[in-house]
Amino acid sequence: MQNETKAQLELLTSPHPVAVLRFEGDIASTSKDVLLSTYQSIPPDSHSKVVLDFTQVDYINSSGIALVIQLLIEATNAGQMLSICGLSPHFAKVFTMVGIPKYAALFPTRAEALAAL
């Protein structure tokens, strides 16, 4: 059974504005509204740097990866700099295989992702 997808937006202001989107549960096709609406709730023109935090994500299927790519394309088109953190070693490898590092740097921890921005 799929764990419900949850997402939370955290707007950091120090040392510079960063939007952190924290995801929980499983990410699949049913997660579209949660992922995209949370991303789209970032105040326009205020946060050009975004961290996607997958620390609490249990599973991502191929439809979920497609949603992440859709989010990355939106963010790239908006001129935002992206980082991804908290992926399991397996999903870090999958994200690398499908070319996500072309759009967002991958980091093991949130602290490393924030420090790189």
Mean per-residue pLDDT of the chain: 92
Residue 38 domain-assigned (yes or no) = yes
Residue 53 domain-assigned (yes or no) = yes
Give residue 24's domain range.
6-116
Residue 43 domain-assigned (yes or no) = yes
- Taking the model in full, what pTM does it have? 0.94
Q: What is the DSSP annotation of the chain?
A: -PPPPEEEEEEE-SSS-EEEEEEEEEESGGGHHHHHHHHHTSPTTT--EEEEEEEEEEEE-HHHHHHHHHHHHHHHHTT-EEEEE---HHHHHHHHHTTGGGTEEEESSHHHHHHH-
Residue 1 domain-assigned (yes or no) = no
* CATH classification at residue 53: 3.30.750.24
Q: How confident is the model at residue 1 (pLDDT cuts 50, 70, 90)?
A: low
Residue 21 domain-assigned (yes or no) = yes
Per-residue pLDDT, 45: 73
Into how many domains does the chain fold?
1
